[in-house]
């Protein structure tokens, strides 16, 4: 049995839903897209074996056996937000930032060294969804997300490996990090008379909208993904027109979400660009920075 399949079955036996991801070899990502910018990190797709990407993640050993029989080199993806959330510390510069935030208090619990030399901290689920750039270089993988798990192979050739293996109970998310994860207040509709919504913190509203739209895109079902992506880019483009967000950040966050949903690169770029353009030309009344 391959180490990847053995690991996948062991995670599933611990109650963690597993899904097969693309793998990286000498020829690049197994998805075959030239210039794939998430090599070995995005879910496999198959018209009968794996139709809904992330949402097909399972703990069923028979299904896992079938997936790895078909793709023996598939990297192992683990759903987050169920047994654990993962704090994904990517860039080297992010470590000092995180240390400062946590006032040098050590974070206990399972720890993975990623194939790119970053870190994955496994923590008790918070209920939060995915968040990009919680701090620069620090992402959150929570409800609706997944992580690449050991012994998957990174594009660098290095494997993800456990520095500290999971042993229950998992530590709670440290309070300063949890504070960053807390969702900004929701904005309700204008109410009777069709008044524009009252925004007391338009910037926070815009950040929340970015996160919410990205989650919609990442979770969109096949057949609705492109429309969802277009709508998200349109809505966020309106916020960019009101100078509440910048278009570059929107494009980066939405492209990441669309990739997770399984859309291909040229389509993603095209759809985001046209959605942003449409939103820019239809600014929403009542929004201003
Ligand atoms: Zn790929």
Exposure string over 93-124, b if 16+ CB within 10 A, otherwise e: ebeeebeebeeeeebebbbbbbbeebbbbbbe
Q: Provide, rounded to the nearest whole percent, the portion of the chain with pLDDT above 70.
A: 90
* Distance in Å, CA 195 to ligand 1 centroid: 45
The CA 34 to ligand 1 mean position distance, Å, reads 8
Phi and psi angles of residue 46, each rounded to the nearest 5 degrees, phi first: -155, 140
Residue 195 has pLDDT above 60, yes or no: no
Residue 168 has pLDDT above 80, yes or no: yes
Higher pLDDT, 239 or 87: 87
Residue 92's pLDDT is 80
Question: What confidence score (pLDDT) does residue 190 get?
Answer: 46
Nearest alpha carbon to residue 85 among 10, 178, 219: 178
Say how far apart CA 28 and CA 123 lie, in whole Å.
32
| pLDDT value for 219 | 86
Contact in structure between 267 and 226 (CB atoms under 8 Å): yes
pLDDT tens readout for residues 63-72 = 999 999 999 9
pLDDT score, position 200: 55
Q: How confident is the model at residue 201 (pLDDT cuts 50, 70, 90)?
A: low
227-276 confidence digits (pLDDT tens): 999 999 999 998 888 888 888 778 888 988 898 888 988 899 999 999 99
How many angstroms separate the alpha carbon of residue 71 from the centre of ligand 1? Answer: 14
Section 35-54 average pLDDT: 82
39 has pLDDT over 80: yes
User: What tens digit of pLDDT does each residue of 122-150 get?
Assistant: 999 998 888 888 888 899 999 888 999 99
CA-CA distance, 265 to 258, in Å (whole number)?
A: 9
Ligand 1 center–CA 264 separation, angstroms: 9
Between 119 and 210, the higher pLDDT residue: 119
User: Of 20-34, 157-171, 247-261, which range is least confident?
Assistant: 247-261
Ion ligand 1 neighbours (CB, 5 A) are 22, 29, 31, 36
Q: Among 66-80, 94-108, 148-162, which is the least confidently predicted range?
A: 94-108
């Amino acid at each position: 049995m391959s180490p990847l399949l053995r690991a996948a079955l062991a995670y599933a036996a611990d109650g963690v839903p597993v899904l097969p991801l693309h793998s990286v070899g000498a020829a690049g990502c197994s998805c075959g897209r030239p210039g794939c910018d998430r090599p070995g990190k995005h879910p496999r797709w198959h018209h009968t074996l794996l139709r809904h990407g992330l949402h097909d993640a399972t703990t069923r050993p028979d299904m896992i056996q079938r997936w790895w029989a078909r793709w023996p080199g598939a990297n192992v993806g683990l759903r987050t937000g169920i047994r654990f959330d993962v704090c994904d510390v990517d860039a080297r510069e992010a470590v000092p930032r995180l240390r400062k935030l946590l006032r040098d208090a050590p974070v206990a619990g399972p720890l993975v060294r990623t194939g790119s030399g970053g870190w994955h901290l496994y923590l008790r689920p918070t209920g939060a969804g995915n968040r990009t750039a919680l701090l620069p270089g620090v992402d959150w993988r929570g409800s609706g997300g997944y992580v690449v798990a050991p012994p998957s192979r990174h594009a660098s050739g290095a494997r993800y490996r456990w520095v500290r293996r999971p042993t229950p109970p998992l530590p709670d998310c440290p309070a300063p990090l949890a504070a960053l994860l807390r969702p900004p207040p929701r904005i309700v509709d204008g109410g009777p008379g069709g008044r524009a919504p009252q925004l007391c913190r338009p910037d926070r509203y815009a950040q929340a909208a970015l996160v919410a739209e990205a989650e919609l895109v990442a979770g969109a079902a096949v057949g609705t993904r492109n429309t969802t992506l277009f709508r998200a880019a349109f809505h966020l483009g309106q916020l960019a027109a009101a100078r509440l967000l910048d278009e570059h950040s929107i494009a980066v966050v939405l492209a990441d979400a669309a990739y997770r949903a399984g859309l291909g690169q040229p389509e993603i770029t095209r759809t985001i660009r046209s959605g942003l353009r449409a939103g820019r030309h239809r600014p929403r009344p009542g929004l201003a920075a």
